[in-house]
Structure 1
Amino acid sequence: MATITAAMVKDLRESTGAGMMDCKAALTESGGDMQAAQDWLRKKGLSKAAKKAGRVAADGLISALTKGTKGVLVEVNSETDFVARNDQFQGLVKMIAQVALEVGADVEKIKSAKVGSVTVETAIADAIATIGENMTLRRAASLEVGNGLVSSYVHNAVVEGAGKIGVIVALESTGKIDELAVLGRQLAMHVAAAKPFALDPAGLDPALVKREKDVLADKYRQQGKPENVIEKIV
């Protein structure tokens, strides 16, 4: 039987992020073979992840990433804000944004894309096993222009490019890139603050417009305004 040293446990822990006792068990099960121990931990981690999959992931982070004429937003959920402040989780979210910038905003394509020797989906499962909370890649969005650039803004970023509110703005233009970058960031900041429903009135949902008009009409009706005046006010 192979002798499992503290140095071996330390090396395995550093390479996998798993707990010390799990690392010791993995090395014992694999007879001291580091590669086999890593595989054992990954299988154990996927099992742990499956057990946690039913738990609600309602917190997490948004990551905004741009590169010239392309930009993406990804939302990765965790169970608690505590995990959202975890360095490993933050790194995972930013890594997923990098992948999305290459493959696009389709969640299934992102999850099946490879990072090194593993898929993004497996990387998420490994993080679940290591951190101990359920996590999900909830959604992604992307913008791209032929000429111009895509700007971004993250409100109250917990780490560069990641926070609770993220915005990307695409500017189609042949103007100077440095000037467009300033304008794009300003617009993105306004979007974060105002949370607009559409780019222009034509893009608004008619049902939303009707509901708002009804609310205003009832407000002025209760104030005793005549119907013809209410219509003009609304």
Structure 2
Amino acid sequence: MAITAAMVKELRESTGAGMMDAKKALTETDGNMDAAVDWLRTKGLAKAAKKADRVAAEGLVGVAVDGGKGVAVELNSETDFVAKNADFQKLVAGVAKAALDAADVEGLKAASLEGKTVADALTNAIAVIGENMTLRRMQKVEGDVVVSYVHNASATDMGRIGVLVALKGKDESGIGKQIAMHIAATAPLALNEAALDPAVVQHELEVQTAKALEENASSAKPKPEQVIHNNIIPGRMRKFLEEVTLLNQKFVINPDITVAEAAKQAGVEVIAYARVAVGEGIEKKEEDFAAEVAKTMAGGN
């Protein structure tokens, strides 16, 4: 597969690797971007790429809380200009409140909103605003107390990132809001190790194993393979789990303790959370403007 400058640029931006390293990684993996990231990590030249940095969808995340229940909904649009539209923001707020009594996205689409279904309200908004919109997803959490936080807010209870934190116990210190802000900043993959996708753990184990064995093979004083498998790799996996699971992360407000310890000191327990970011998980479509112009000109001859 031909390795283009655009591919090298994308890999460099997502991993921080140097140009030649990025090009070699793509060459070694026949242009497979995900495999190239793993190749760079194995060589110790990059951390895991954050695919969320390559998303393209626009719109808003809206949050709503009612006692011990909270929801976050994502409404996508074609441009971020629509996110500033008062009619669109009113729709997001209405959909978020309607979601409090819905079980899932399909149920939400059928829910009532100002005398019509949410699906019909969305269709009407598309006709009025003149841009395609999609009700992409919703997440719900429940607990004794639910706290919400919106990062990069465009209006009350809506913005680019919406976070919900469900607590067991009474939040008298405001720790829920602090943990919600922590979640917005760190984007944990799961509440704890038990909730983490086994496939994610297995993939990380494979990367760390390959990296440790390669480092040991090139070392002037290689360690016995038993030490690599029994000490070094498990140690690196423990660090990985501490970094990606919320309760084990170092609390951003006080890095001397974990999030779980901070909650315990405040007399509560974090039992669930949700973090929804606009466009998260949707890959950006790169447009080659010069090629498009050339194609248009060729078609006109």
Normalising by structure 1, report the TM-score.
0.68
Partners of 2:106 and 2:208 in 1: how far apart? Answer: 43
- Secondary structure at the aligned position of 1:196 is classed as coil
Based on CA coordinates, which of the two structures has the bigger radius of gyration? 1
Alignment of 1:32-43 (within 5 A): none
Match of 1:144 among 139, 142, 145: 142
**Alignment-derived partner of residue 183 in structure 1:** 175
Match for residue 186 of structure 2? 194
Q: Say whether residues 1:79 and 2:73 are aligned partners.
A: no
Residue 123 in structure 1 maps to residue 121 in structure 2: yes
Q: Could you list the runs of 5+ residues in structure 2 that have no partner in the other structure?
A: 1-55, 217-221, 234-301
Instruction: Please give the alpha-carbon distance, in whole angstroms, between the structure 2 residues aligned to 1:128 and 1:192.
Output: 30
SS at match of 2:81: helix
Q: 1:125 to 1:140 in 2, by over 3 A?
A: same
User: Residues 90-129 of structure 1 correspond to what in structure 2 (within 5 A)?
Assistant: 90-101=89-100, 103-129=101-127
Q: Retained in 1: the 8 A contact 2:71–2:138?
A: yes
2:172 is aligned with 1:169: no
Correspondence for 2:63: 64
Offset from partner CA, 1:145-182 (integer Å, 9 cap, x none): 2xx21011111111121111111010021x3x433xx1
Runs of 4+ in 1 over 6 A off after TM superposition: none
Query: Which residue is equivalent to 1:157?
Result: 153
Q: 5+ residue gaps in structure 1?
A: 1-56
Aligned to 1:3: none
1:88 to 2:81 alignment: no
Query: 2:74 touches 2:138 (CA, 8 Å); kept in 1?
Result: yes
Comparing both chains, which one has the higher relative contact order based on Cα–Cα distances under 8 Å and sequence gaps of 6 or more? 2
Contact 1:105 1:140 in 2 (8 A): no
Residue in 1 that maps onto 2:198: 206
Q: Partner of 2:172: helix, strand, or coil?
A: helix
Alignment partners' CA distance in 2, 1:79 and 1:105: 27
Q: Is the 1:100–1:110 Cα contact (8 Å) retained in structure 2?
A: yes
Asked if the contact 1:151–1:170 (Cα under 8 Å) also holds between the matched residues in 2, the reply is: yes
Per-residue deviation, 1:196: 1.3
Q: Separation in 2 of the partners of 1:213 and 1:92?
A: 44
Identity in percent: 50
The count of aligned residue pairs is 171
CA positional deviation for 1:115: 2.2
Residue 92 of structure 1, CA deviation? 0.6
Q: Distance in 1 between matches of 2:70 and 2:162?
A: 12
Name the counterpart of 1:54: none
Q: In structure 2, how many angstroms separate the alpha carbons of the residues matched to 1:155 and 1:212?
A: 29
Aligned to 2:258: none
TM-aligned CA distance change 1:105 to 1:74, over 3 Å: farther
Q: Quick check: which one's helix share is greater?
A: 1
Q: Deviations over 1:100-155 (max 9, x none)?
A: 12x2242222222222322211111111001111111111111122xx21011111
Report the residue type matching 1:169 in the other structure. Answer: V
Tell me by how many angstroms 1:79 deviates.
1.0
TM-score normalised according to structure 2 size: 0.54
State the distance in 1 between where 2:132 and 2:103 align: 22
Amino acid at match of 1:178: E
1:133 paired with 2:128, answer: no
CA contact (8 A) 2:102 2:111 kept: no
Instruction: Kindly report the root-mean-square deviation, in angstroms, between the aligned alpha carbons of the 2 structures.
Output: 1.7
2:33 aligned partner: none
8 Å CA contact 2:95–2:113 kept in 1: the answer is no
